[in-house]
Homo-oligomer: A and B are copies of this chain.
Amino acid sequence: VALELKNLPDYEKLVAMQRRFEDAEPAAIETCLLLLRVASDLFTAFDAHFTRHGISRGRFMVLINLMSADPEPVRPGELAERTGVTGATISGLLKHLEADGLIARAGVPEDRRRVTVRLTESGRTFLRRLLPDHFRRVRGLMGGLSDKQKETLARLLRTVRDGIPAVREP
């Protein structure tokens, strides 16, 4: 079942590898490579879009998460979890976003180690202008899939996600 993937090793090559490495499973390798490549190209495409709007992917992820919680504030640590980046990265992103006036940090009186972050009015305005365009792009991206297919894709992706620990192990 060759998948005719431009820019990826063709199936014959993978079968040849299988002969040399008994653990190689061509279908698994091919699908994994495709997933990584599609994701990589997708990141690149979104990044170009974000750059046009003067932000980065990381900053957008922070803003959209803050909006999702708005008007409730969010802790930096939770932003790190929700966006899948390091706490150190969040600190850097917040520094820039605060300098641009899009978010505001505030201390928490009950526990002075903590900080809360929320959108400023300026941040809300920024998102109100950006999101219609953004959502139109997402809609275009997924336009080729029916609702049922989107659901199937999500289910399969969650299964892949469950396998991620196997990649990290000893």
Tell me the interface secondary structure of chain A in the complex: helix
Please determine whether B28 and A142 come into contact, CB atoms closer than 8 angstroms. yes
**Nearest CB of chain B from residue A125's CB, rounded to whole Å:** 13
Segment 93-111 of A: residues with Cβ below 8 Å from B? none
Please determine whether B25 and A138 come into contact, CB atoms closer than 8 angstroms. yes
Question: For residue A28, which residues in chain B have a CB less than 8 angstroms away from its CB?
Answer: 138-139, 141-143, 150
Please determine whether A13 and B68 come into contact, CB atoms closer than 8 angstroms. yes
Please determine whether A1 and B151 come into contact, CB atoms closer than 8 angstroms. yes
Question: For residue A165, which residues in chain B have a CB less than 8 angstroms away from its CB?
Answer: 45
Question: For residue A37, which residues in chain B have a CB less than 8 angstroms away from its CB?
Answer: 84
Given A68-B9, A153-B31: A166 and B147 interface contact (C-beta under 8 Å): no
Question: For residue A150, which residues in chain B have a CB less than 8 angstroms away from its CB?
Answer: 27-28, 31
Segment 7-25 of A: residues with Cβ below 8 Å from B? 7-9, 13, 17, 21-25
**Nearest CB of chain B from residue A67's CB, rounded to whole Å:** 8
